[in-house]
Amino acid sequence: MEFQDVVRQRYAAKKFDGKSIPQEKMDELIELIRLTPSGLNLQPWKIKIVTDQKTKDELFPVTGEQPSVTSCSHLLVLCANTDFDDLVAKADKSMRDGGVPDEIRRHVIELASAHKEKSLEARLAYARNQVFISLGNALNGAKALGLDACPMTNFQPQEYSRILNIPAHIVPTVLVAVGYAADKPMPKRRLANEDIVF
């Protein structure tokens, strides 16, 4: 599917038909998310995938009772990973293994290492920004694969961490319910060009 059509046709499905997405389709979607670009290629994200109905039911009240949580096939919990020690070590290894010239590798690691010294709050803010790039690939990717998706930020992250047993350094940031829509898109409403280009 052409990217321009993906962008025009995707919408936030508010309700799904309950049908399960085949595993190989989900693998393709996760692959599109995995390929998302990020600052210094640090990829400070983690994904928890919820398919179990009992867990979805438990998450429903801490997600503003949004019906997409319980009716979707897969609920992706996109999380920020604040463990920059590990991320920088992995980036260094990946560049060594990938034959990136030493000069470039050292420069990237120098910039990346600055994050390690920052406060948890600053690391989290940085990682969260990157997670939102991956959100775009998740939403566009779902549509490109013939699926529908609904992004949600109206949820209680601490309750998610408790219910899903997520360690403290991984912070639930945005949800993507994925499945087959049981509703129809409304016409897209966007600010006019002159409202955003200045």
| Interface ranges with its own copies (CB under 8 A) | 1-4, 6-8, 10-12, 28, 30-32, 34-37, 39, 41, 43, 45-49, 90, 94-95, 98, 100, 111, 125, 128-130, 132-133, 135-137, 139-141, 143-144, 151, 153-154, 170, 186-191, 193, 195-198
Least distance in Å: CB of 198 to its own copies?
A: 5
As beta bridge partners, residue 49 has: 76
Closest by Cα among 10, 4, 43 to 145: 10
Least distance in Å: CB of 120 to its own copies?
A: 14
Least distance in Å: CB of 180 to its own copies?
A: 18
Closest by Cα among 186, 179, 175, 187 to 146: 179
- Rounded CA-CA distance 130/10 in Å is 21
Least distance in Å: CB of 118 to its own copies?
A: 14
Q: Between 54 and 101, whose beta carbon lies closer to its own copies? A: 101
Closest by Cα among 167, 174, 159, 166 to 127: 174
Q: Between 141 and 157, whose beta carbon lies closer to its own copies? A: 141
Q: Between 92 and 159, whose beta carbon lies closer to its own copies? A: 92
Least distance in Å: CB of 86 to its own copies?
A: 9
Q: Between 1 and 120, whose beta carbon lies closer to its own copies? A: 1
């408790």: which residue's tokens?
162
- Rounded CA-CA distance 26/17 in Å is 17
Alpha helices in 61-177 (DSSP H): 67-71, 84-97, 102-116, 120-144, 157-164
Q: Between 71 and 142, whose beta carbon lies closer to its own copies? A: 142
Residues in the chain: 198
